[in-house]
């Protein structure tokens, strides 16, 4: 068997066993055997790049390469669904459709999966692109990440149309969600608030290897294209499952309203036993002809509707409202309640969002409140029992001054949120910025965790980043550690006795947080506020959001110390901290810039700015006009950069950090993007491209040591082909046996 035959054989076998495992839950070989085959295929493909195939199962393993997402316009807009909450509204929906069509309808009833939507394009049976919903008109190209999802077929089987789209939901099953959060608790990383955020955050990761490790699932529920196999949506899904799609097992074709109501009643209870999160039912007119006749409103189809399950609700008495300040200075009101049982957990605190929400509830201390938990870990107050209100305490009003530093609060223009403007003097804000600074994607200060920062801060050792680099071994060793900083310990002291640790009983992550952590509440409420800003700045990755307290909640330390003797850092720990600080002086400029924590400057934007301006001095002198010409930099980011550098305290900080030896300019290596990856290769460019212009490809070839030639000859090594490559050229290439590669393959070659 030659390499090509072996590659083909392994690809076929791996695809077969993948389906047996993931689609049919009937594995025939062990995981070990599967991994061995995968490894063999990876090696063969590496040695024989000419056999690259976009459907190869090796792509499911992901890659370490960081990749910014390109935006792709949806061929058909991705619409949303109208929501209903009552049976009457469902009856109205069916009657409305039938009256408008003047004939009866069949309704396909499906579960409403609570993940993140995805649109998959298949051409000639191969997955070519996977795009997120985005704004409905265009979304992010997350193909590399989606290829790692085992329930997404890379190559279809059977008699499929040559060109069509499948839409569905990418989900993180509950089991995997819990596992991930547990892992993050141990690593002291922020927790995901719910599986939906975890799924969408994962899909937006720039490293597909991490995506592959997270075991996402996909359920497909909508086929689009000009030549669909059947007029029945239900049948189309059934047929799609024979091509290899996971279309969910729970769909039912209903002939009348009673059957729809039965379906809803059944799943309202049974959904709690499903492996994935659901938040309702989707009802769709089954006939595609009827769907077309009913048409669309600006936002949603007239032929489909969502019925949302009622969130579980409990009643409890409001005892106190406290106000928390987050790392971005935003102040969040939190309701402290009598403990009450809700969906299997004890709830003591609930989100109150902002001043407008408090006023709308007309909230008084002592009120009986309704608390709901709708798919989130954090419950919220949704109403007050005003009918039975008697002997209640004072009306709840929003505070005027920061509860941490006393500074008068300011309101974010156009938003309901208040923030403390005392950025450089307000403890939780300073500490939050330190947490960002030390994080993995920023300075990656291994050995320093949030509690170490707490200890340094509480003992007056640090008030800005530069102070960290002035710490001496003695200072660290003499710094008393707060109770919680002891739990952060990385190495258990070998002397035993007072240094031995005890662990809490294992509980579910969600429950533990609910019962003991204010921080989780704090950060999840940020989610509401910051999700808006992260949408406006798409260049921020989900991991950026994690760092900025966007999508996630904080973990709670799980270790407790038995002894109450005051503790200090051991020599070993202090040395580790100093070592990490010294090592961080090698962190490249782009990450240092990210670590500084300029508002809206996430990882990607930091990269763009550092490459555009090369060093901090040029960046600090950049005008608004200079800044907005940089890719991914909009008005808000430009203003934020200018504001940052107009603050003398920030300038002084940078000077001190420079003196300490941190990188504030791109290294030589970064400055020259030249490589020899295409050395000696003659490459012809043909057709039109979507990711870069022809000129850009030309300069990429040259920058990487290759030669861009105009016409195909026996000397041509590759043809970089976009769309519409002429048939004569294709024929010539085939005759001369020259590999035709597309944009993706070409870009991969440069990685």
Q: Least distance to ligand IVH from the beta carbon of 233, Å?
A: 10
Q: Which of the stretches 78-86, 351-359, 385-393, 615-623 binds ligand IVH when contact is defined by CB under 6 A? A: 78-86
Query: For residue 181, which of 514, 530, 533, 544 has the smallest C-alpha distance?
Result: 514
Query: For residue 448, which of 579, 327, 642, 299 has the smallest C-alpha distance?
Result: 579
Site string for ligand IVH, 277-316 (x = CB under 6 A): -----x------------------x--x-x----------
H or E stretch at 83: strand 83-84
- The CB-side HSE value for 161 (13 A sphere, CA atoms) comes to 17
Site string for ligand IVH, 31-70 (x = CB under 6 A): ----------------------------------------
- Collapsed DSSP state (helix, strand, coil) of residue 264: helix
Q: Tokens 């989707």 correspond to what residue? A: 282
- The CB-side HSE value for 209 (13 A sphere, CA atoms) comes to 4
Q: Least distance to ligand IVH from the beta carbon of 153, Å?
A: 19
DSSP string covering 139-172:
EEB-HHHHTT-TTS-SB--SS--SEEEEEEEEE-
Residue 352 or 551: which CB sits closer to ligand IVH?
A: 551
Residue 131 sits in the site that holds ligand IVH (CB under 6 A): no
Query: For residue 195, which of 512, 530, 510 has the smallest C-alpha distance?
Result: 510
For the stretch 575-611, what's the b/e string if a residue is b when 16 or more beta carbons lie within 10 angstroms of its beta carbon?
Answer: ebbbebbeebeebbbbbbbbbbbbbbbbbbbbbbbbb
Rounded Cα–Cα distance for residues 264 and 308 (Å) = 10
Q: Least distance to ligand IVH from the beta carbon of 528, Å?
A: 18
Q: Which of the stretches 77-85, 332-340, 544-552, 725-733 binds ligand IVH when contact is defined by CB under 6 A? A: 77-85
Q: Least distance to ligand IVH from the beta carbon of 320, Å?
A: 37
Q: Least distance to ligand IVH from the beta carbon of 531, Å?
A: 16
Question: Judged by CB under 6 A, which of 7, 10, 59, 81 binds ligand IVH?
Answer: 81
Q: Tokens 């670590």 correspond to what residue? A: 595
Rounded Cα–Cα distance for residues 430 and 428 (Å) = 5
Question: Judged by CB under 6 A, which of 15, 18, 63, 117 binds ligand IVH?
Answer: 117
Q: Which of the stretches 106-114, 487-495, 701-709, 735-743 binds ligand IVH when contact is defined by CB under 6 A? A: 106-114
Question: Judged by CB under 6 A, which of 221, 234, 353, 526 binds ligand IVH?
Answer: 221
Segments of 268-311 assigned E as strands: 278-285, 304-308
Residue 282 or 377: which CB sits closer to ligand IVH?
A: 282
Rounded Cα–Cα distance for residues 404 and 329 (Å) = 10
Catalytic option among 12, 46, 87, 112: 112
Residue 294 or 466: which CB sits closer to ligand IVH?
A: 294
Q: Least distance to ligand IVH from the beta carbon of 114, Å?
A: 7
- Collapsed DSSP state (helix, strand, coil) of residue 396: coil
Residue 304 or 371: which CB sits closer to ligand IVH?
A: 304
| Cα dist from 50 to 45, 53, 149, 749, whole Å | 8, 9, 25, 11
Q: Tokens 């929400």 correspond to what residue? A: 357
Residue 165 sits in the site that holds ligand IVH (CB under 6 A): no
Residue 76 or 624: which CB sits closer to ligand IVH?
A: 76
Q: Least distance to ligand IVH from the beta carbon of 301, Å?
A: 5
Residue 171 or 442: which CB sits closer to ligand IVH?
A: 171
Residue 80 sits in the site that holds ligand IVH (CB under 6 A): yes
Residue 79 or 471: which CB sits closer to ligand IVH?
A: 79
Q: Least distance to ligand IVH from the beta carbon of 210, Å?
A: 23
Residue nearest to ligand IVH (CB): 117
| Cα dist from 644 to 61, 195, 202, 418, 612, whole Å | 41, 35, 31, 20, 18
Residue 91 sits in the site that holds ligand IVH (CB under 6 A): no
Residue 267 sits in the site that holds ligand IVH (CB under 6 A): no
Residue 113 or 164: which CB sits closer to ligand IVH?
A: 113
Q: Least distance to ligand IVH from the beta carbon of 103, Å?
A: 22
For residues 176-205, which are near ligand IVH according to CB under 6 A?
none
Q: Which of the stretches 34-42, 107-115, 431-439, 445-453 binds ligand IVH when contact is defined by CB under 6 A? A: 107-115
Q: Least distance to ligand IVH from the beta carbon of 264, Å?
A: 13
Segments of 263-344 assigned E as strands: 278-285, 304-308, 312-325, 330-342
For residues 350-369, which are near ligand IVH according to CB under 6 A?
none
Count of chain residues binding ligand IVH (CB under 6 A): 14
- The CB-side HSE value for 286 (13 A sphere, CA atoms) comes to 22
Residue 169 or 545: which CB sits closer to ligand IVH?
A: 169
Residue 169 or 538: which CB sits closer to ligand IVH?
A: 169
Q: Least distance to ligand IVH from the beta carbon of 734, Å?
A: 41
Residue 191 or 237: which CB sits closer to ligand IVH?
A: 237
Residue 152 or 304: which CB sits closer to ligand IVH?
A: 304
Q: Tokens 């994690």 correspond to what residue? A: 546
Residue 110 sits in the site that holds ligand IVH (CB under 6 A): yes
Q: Least distance to ligand IVH from the beta carbon of 146, Å?
A: 15
- Collapsed DSSP state (helix, strand, coil) of residue 55: coil
Q: Which of the stretches 7-15, 75-83, 435-443, 731-739 binds ligand IVH when contact is defined by CB under 6 A? A: 75-83
Q: In this structure, how many other beta carbons lie within 10 angstroms of the beta carbon of residue 517?
A: 18
DSSP string covering 556-621:
---EEES--S-EE--HHHHHHHHHHHHHGGGS-HHHHHHHHT-TT--HHHHHHHHHHHSBHHHHHH
Q: Print the SS3 string covering 411-438.
A: ECCCCCCEECCCCCCCHHHHHHHHHHHH
Query: For residue 489, which of 479, 500, 505, 497 has the smallest C-alpha distance?
Result: 500
Residue 169 sits in the site that holds ligand IVH (CB under 6 A): yes
| Cα dist from 627 to 354, 605, 636, 665, whole Å | 33, 11, 11, 17
Q: In this structure, how many other beta carbons lie within 10 angstroms of the beta carbon of residue 674?
A: 11
Q: Tokens 């099953």 correspond to what residue? A: 173
Residue 222 sits in the site that holds ligand IVH (CB under 6 A): yes
Residue 100 β-bridge partners: none
Active site residue 483: no
Question: Judged by CB under 6 A, which of 79, 224, 340, 587 binds ligand IVH?
Answer: 79
Question: Judged by CB under 6 A, which of 34, 69, 113, 456 binds ligand IVH?
Answer: 113
List contacts with ligand IVH (CB under 6 A): 79-81, 110, 112-113, 117, 169, 221-222, 282, 301, 304, 306
Catalytic residue numbers read 112
């Amino acid at each position: 068997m030659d390499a090509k035959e072996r590659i083909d054989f392994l690809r076929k076998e791996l695809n077969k066993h993948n389906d047996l495992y993931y689609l049919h839950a009937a594995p025939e070989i062990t995981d070990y055997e599967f991994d061995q085959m995968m490894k063999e295929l990876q090696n063969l493909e590496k040695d024989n790049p000419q056999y690259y195939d976009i459907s190869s199962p090796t792509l499911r393993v992901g890659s370490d390469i960081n990749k910014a997402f390109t935006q792709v316009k949806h061929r058909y807009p991705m619409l949303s669904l109208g929501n209903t909450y009552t049976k009457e509204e469902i009856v109205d929906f069916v009657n409305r459709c039938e009256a408008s069509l003047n004939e009866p309808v069949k309704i396909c009833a499906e579960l409403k999966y609570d993940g993140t939507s995805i649109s998959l394009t298949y051409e000639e049976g191969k997955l070519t692109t996977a795009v997120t919903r985005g704004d409905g008109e265009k979304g992010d190209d997350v193909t590399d990440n989606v290829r790692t999802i085992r329930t997404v077929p890379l190559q279809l089987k059977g008699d499929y149309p040559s060109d069509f789209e499948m839409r569905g939901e990418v989900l993180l099953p509950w089991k995997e969600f819990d596992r991930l959060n547990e892992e993050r608790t141990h690593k002291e990383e922020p927790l995901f608030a719910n599986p939906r955020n975890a799924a969408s955050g994962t899909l937006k990761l720039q490293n597909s290897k991490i995506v592959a490790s997270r075991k996402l699932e996909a359920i497909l529920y909508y086929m689009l294209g000009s030549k669909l196999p059947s007029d029945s949506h239900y049948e189309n899904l059934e047929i799609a499952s024979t091509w290899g799609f996971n279309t969910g097992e729970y769909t039912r074709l209903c002939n009348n309203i009673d059957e729809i109501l039965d379906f809803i009643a059944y799943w309202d209870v049974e959904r709690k036993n499903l492996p994935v999160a659901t938040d309702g039912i989707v009802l769709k007119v089954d006939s595609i002809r009827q769907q077309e006749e009913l048409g669309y409103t600006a936002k949603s189809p007239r032929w489909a509707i969502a019925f949302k399950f009622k969130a579980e609700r409990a009643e409890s008495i409001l005892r106190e409202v406290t106000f928390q300040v987050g790392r971005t200075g935003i102040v969040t009101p939190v309701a402290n309640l009598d403990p009450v049982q809700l969906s299997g957990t004890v709830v003591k605190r609930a989100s109150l969002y902002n001043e407008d929400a408090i006023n709308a509830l007309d909230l008084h201390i002592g009120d009986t409140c309704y608390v709901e938990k709708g798919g989130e870990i954090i419950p919220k107050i949704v109403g007050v029992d005003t009918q039975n209100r008697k002997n209640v305490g004072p009306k709840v009003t929003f505070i005027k001054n920061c509860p941490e530093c006393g500074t008068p609060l300011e309101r974010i223009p156009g938003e309901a949120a208040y923030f403390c403007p005392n950025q450089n003097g307000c403890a939780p804000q300073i500490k939050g910025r330190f947490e960002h600074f030390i994080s993995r994607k920023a300075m990656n200060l291994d050995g320093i965790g949030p509690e170490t920062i707490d200890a340094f801060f509480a003992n007056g050792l640090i008030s800005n980043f530069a102070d960290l680099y002035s710490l001496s071994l003695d200072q660290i060793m003499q710094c008393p550690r707060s109770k919680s900083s002891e739990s952060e310990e990385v190495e258990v002291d070998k002397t035993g006795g007072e240094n031995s640790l005890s662990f809490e009983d294992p509980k579910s992550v969600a429950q533990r947080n609910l019962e003991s952590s204010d921080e989780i509440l704090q950060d999840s409420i940020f989610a509401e506020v910051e999700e808006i800003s992260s949408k406006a700045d798409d260049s921020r990755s989900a991991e950026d959001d994690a760092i900025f307290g966007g999508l996630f909640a904080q973990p709670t330390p799980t270790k407790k110390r038995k002894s109450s003797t005051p503790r200090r850092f051991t020599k070993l720990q202090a040395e580790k901290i100093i070592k990490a600080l010294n090592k961080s002086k090698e962190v490249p400029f782009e990450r240092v810039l990210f670590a500084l924590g300029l508002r809206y400057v996430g990882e990607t934007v930091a990269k763009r700015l550092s490459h555009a301006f090369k060093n901090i001095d040029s960046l600090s002198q950049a005008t608004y006009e200079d800044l907005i010409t940089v890719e991914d930099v909009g008005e808000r980011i430009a203003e934020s950069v200018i504001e940052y550098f107009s603050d003398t305290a920030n300038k002084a900080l940078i000077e001190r950090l420079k003196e300490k030896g941190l990188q504030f300019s791109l290294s030589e290596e970064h400055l020259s993007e030249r490589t020899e990856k295409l050395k000696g290769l003659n490459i012809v460019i043909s057709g039109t491209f979507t990711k870069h212009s022809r000129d850009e490809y030309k300069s990429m070839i040259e920058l990487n040591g290759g030669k861009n030639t105009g016409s195909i000859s026996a000397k041509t090594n590759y043809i970089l082909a976009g769309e519409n490559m002429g048939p004569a050229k294709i024929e010539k290439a085939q005759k001369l046996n020259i590999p035709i590669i597309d944009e993706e393959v070409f870009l991969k070659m440069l990685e």
